[in-house]
Structure 1
Amino acid sequence: MTRVLLTGGSGFIAAHVLESLLAHGHSVVTTVRSAQKGQQILDSHKQYGKGKLDFVIVEDISKPGAFDSAVVSDSPFEAAVHCASPYHFNAKTPEEIHQLITTAVDGTTGILKGIKSHAPTVKRVIILSSYAAMVDYGKQMTHVYTEVDWNPITNEQAYQSAPFAYLASKTFAEKAAWDFVKSEKPSFTLTSLNPPMVYGPVIHSLSSLDSINTSNVRFVSLLKGSPSTPCPPTVNYLFIDVRDLALAHVLALEKPEAENQRFLVTAGNYSNAEIAQIIGEEYPEFKDRMPVGEALKLGERPATGVNGYDNRKSIEVLGMKYRPLRESVLGVVESIKGML
């Protein structure tokens, strides 16, 4: 059993990481932004005592020293998993873009600084990065992406649009983490996981579908739509099931071979059109809401595939086995259909 600090435990991905860590026998303390969110987590895991699961409040991850007390535990931490980082495309003004990037970068470097200064027992740190930190839109869509790829986005480009701001936030945050390890030479190792679109069941507390995580928004749109609603263009043709991504965090923590490595974690190509087709096939009650005919073709994946990828490292080193798209789609719909 490893004593693990998990950041952002009330989020979509981190909630699954928490489940996977507990299922593998690890002891977890998760950071949350309020006591209410922390209590919700404890209430949904009543089978675990405080020795196995607890929470600590970190209201603002971007504040200097935000994690200094969180990384200290009566039973010292041996590992940390950092999932707390903003994922949205709402930053439009220069001030909003600056806030988005600062939160991502300072949150990531902040926990590394806190561990180095106050938690010498931590030997492994896993950070949730993104395929956004790899993709280069100056290359052909079919470029085969691997762990050596980095998004070349500049600070100037980051302020051109909300999507660019998000890409920059993930890129700058991950680069800052690797730069920290290189310059500070801490006693812990670093591993980054770089997933593309993340789909799958929603298990964290959700007040309404208006606050659903960004990647699953397209499911809500499809389930509430009509045949006349065009299928949205896919843009990023790579995906991973959130349950597989959660397991990847645990495997990265447990396997020595994963130390100081980057991993592109993806099940492969997909399209929004395929999501609509699967929903229509599996759920007769929603079939008449799915885009059909030419509307469906707007989101179709070309026969040759786009967003080339090579996920062999995640399979060979971590031992990943990926769920197919159909299983991810069913997971999402089953978890949210009662809220429609």
Structure 2
Amino acid sequence: MARVLLTGGNGFLASHILDLLLARGQSVVTTVRSHEKAEQIRERHPYASTTQLGVIIVPDFISAGAFDECFKSDASFDVVMHTASPFRYSITDIQGELLDPAIIGTIALLEAIRKNAPSIKKVRIRNFMVGEYKAEIPDTGTSFFLWVDVRDAALAHIRAMEALGAVNQRFLLTAGYFSNKEICEVIRGSFPEYRPQLPEQNTGGGGYPNKGLYGFDNSRATKKLGLTYRTLSASITDTVMSLQKLQNWEKITA
């Protein structure tokens, strides 16, 4: 059984990674920014013992020595999974608001490992790919038409931790292309009750750019990590069903 440090444990991807790690019986210490978020994690995993799940508060992961406290314990870590990173949709400065904090935070973690835990066997760092269009905005509202289901991305992190041949390598995690038009068609076909709320089937827009799409190569992840990606249809269907459950829960608790 490995002992894992998972940064940003309340994040979208990290919460799925945490579920898989605990289900596999791993011992996990995760970081969050506040006591409130720490309590949310404990409430979500009520059956995890304090020896299997620990939570450390790191209010500002880009400050000097931010992660030093994580390594001040008797039990050492075998693996570090770094997913903590600033991310929001309303940004005006990609470099200053996204890239610089992510880089500084990653360096701070690596410095803490070098200084306090040189025996750690593996460090996994999650990277986002960010696109920017200045001259035009594609119909789908992004310059990046690749997607991956968060459950597949979480499993890839676990497989990368477990696989012997996954050291010092980058893995592009993507199931392929998507467009808003395709998403609408999946919802239209699987949830007819929402058809009145969707654009008409022959409505223009929402597709791929006329100039075509870039290529990608995700073969390293599929071969070395043994990944089989969910289809866009399955992912969108599960997402809608999840939102329906949330909506019903809000009605019950209102």
The TM-score range, normalised by the shorter chain, is 0.7 to 0.9
Aligned equivalents of 2:211 and 2:226: distance in 1? Answer: 27
Matched, 1:105 2:12: no
Report SS of the residue matched to 1:249. Answer: helix
* Structure 2 Cα separation of the partners of residues 8 and 118 of structure 1: 20
- The 1:72–1:123 alpha-carbon spacing in structure 2 relative to 1, beyond 3 Å, is farther
Equivalent in the alignment of 2:73: 73
* 1:312 has 2:229 as partner: no
Unaligned runs of 5+ in 2: 134-138
Partner Cα separation in structure 1 for residue 143 and residue 229 of structure 2: 21
Q: What letter is aligned with 1:317?
A: K
SS in structure 1 of the partner of residue 92 of structure 2 = coil
Residue identity matched to 2:39: Q
TM superposition shift of 1:24: 2.3
2:15 paired with 1:47: no
Matched, 1:258 2:161: no
Q: CA deviation at 1:332?
A: 1.8
Name the structure 2 match of 1:244: 152
- Residue 177 of structure 1 corresponds to none
Preserved CA contact (<8 Å) 1:8 1:30: yes
Aligned equivalent of 1:117, options 112, 115, 118 = 115
2:194 to 277, 286, 289: 286
Instruction: Describe the superposition over 1:263-297 as per-residue Cα deviations: whole angstroms up to 9, x where unpaired.
Output: 111111221111111112112222211122453x3
RMSD (Å) for aligned C-alpha atoms: 2.3
Q: TM-score, normalised by structure 1?
A: 0.66
Normalised to the residue count of structure 2, the TM-score between the two structures is 0.87
Once the two structures are superposed, the pairs formed by residues 149-168 of structure 1 within 5 Å of their partners are 163=132
* Aligned-pair CA distance for 1:73: 2.9
1:291-323 deviation per Cα after TM superposition (whole angstroms, max 9, x unaligned) = 22453x311247997231111111111111111
Identity rate, percent: 40
**Aligned position for 1:334:** 241
Amino acid at match of 1:288: P
Which residue of 202, 205, 208 corresponds with 1:298? 205
The answer to whether the 8 A contact 1:233-1:298 is kept is: no
Partner of 1:88: 88
- Native 8 Å contact 1:78 1:124 kept in 2: yes
Matches of 1:293 and 1:280 in 2, distance apart?
9
Aligned length: 242
Conservation of the 8 A alpha-carbon contact between 1:77 and 1:122: yes
Determine helix, strand or coil for the equivalent of 1:61: coil
- The SS at the match of 1:38 is helix
Amino acid in structure 2 at the alignment position of 1:270: F
State the shift of 1:101 in Å. Answer: 3.2
The aligned amino acid for 1:114 is A
Change (3 A) 1:71 1:298: farther
Contact 1:6 1:82 in 2 (8 A): yes
Mark the runs of 5 or more structure 1 residues left unpaired by the alignment.
136-162, 165-230
Report deviation, 1:98: 2.5
Could you tell me which amino acid in structure 2 is paired with residue 6 of structure 1? L
Query: In structure 2, what is the equivalent of residue 203 of structure 1?
Result: none
Aligned to 2:136: none
1:34/1:233 CA distance change after superposition, 3 Å:
closer
SS in 2 for 1:262: coil
Secondary structure in structure 1 of the residue aligned to 2:68: coil
CA distance in 2, matches of 1:76, 1:91: 38
Q: Find the residue that maps to 2:22 and give its secondary structure.
A: helix
Are the counterparts in 2 of residues 79 and 125 from structure 1 also a CA contact under 8 Å? yes
Aligned twin of 1:219:
none
Aligned to 2:57: 57
What is the distance in 1 between the residues matched to 2:165 and 2:124?
13
C-alpha distance in structure 2 between counterparts of 1:82 and 1:108, whole Å? 8
